Amino acid sequence: MAGLELLSDQGYRVDGRKAGELRKIQARMGVFAQADGSAYIEQGNTKALAVVYGPHEIRGSRAKTLHDRAVVNCQYSMATFSTGERKRRPHGDRKSTEMTLHLKQTFEAAILTQ
């Protein structure tokens, strides 16, 4: 296989799959017993883990001002070996911050508070 070709002359991808063959998918729920919810999904070499703690009542001065909506705290991180760059990203780098914000906005819009 040369350059940017997606298929070999025999019709296989770099990872050995045929052109129309999907990656294997594996999923599990409840992988962390101490969390209120957790899930793991794997497709090919891509692996994702999500953990949820809560909901919890808001305490203190914020409780009165935020009584009619949910507050979502979100943390996104990616293993340093999971990209082609192979470099350590500082906590709060731009990519992680943007992904955290997108996830937070998505979940805030999806959570029913009434």
- Digit-coded pLDDT (tens) for 12-69: 988 888 888 899 999 999 999 999 999 999 998 889 999 999 888 878 777 677 777 7
DSSP string for 27-87: EEE---TTSSEEEEEEETTEEEEEEE-------TTHHHHTTTS----------GGGSSS--
Q: Are 63 and 109 in the same domain?
A: yes
* Confidence at residue 91, expressed as pLDDT on a 0 to 100 scale: 67
pLDDT of 25: 95
Is residue 48 situated within a structural domain?
yes
* Nearest-angstrom CA–CA distance, 48 and 35: 16
Residue 70 in domain: yes
Q: Are residues 44 and 96 in the same domain?
A: no
In a domain, 89, yes or no: yes
Q: What is the pLDDT of residue 1?
A: 44
CB 72 within 8 A of CB 104: yes
Query: pLDDT per residue over 82-99, tens digit each?
Result: 777 766 666 678 888 999
In a domain, 37, yes or no: yes
The domain tally of the chain equals 2
Does pLDDT of 79 surpass 60? Answer: yes
Cβ–Cβ < 8 Å for 62, 56: no
Q: Which domain holds residue 91?
A: 55-114
Q: 7 phi and psi, to 5 degrees?
A: -125, 145
DSSP structural state of residue 12: B
Decide: pTM greater than 0.85: no
On whether both 42 and 61 belong to a single domain, the answer is no
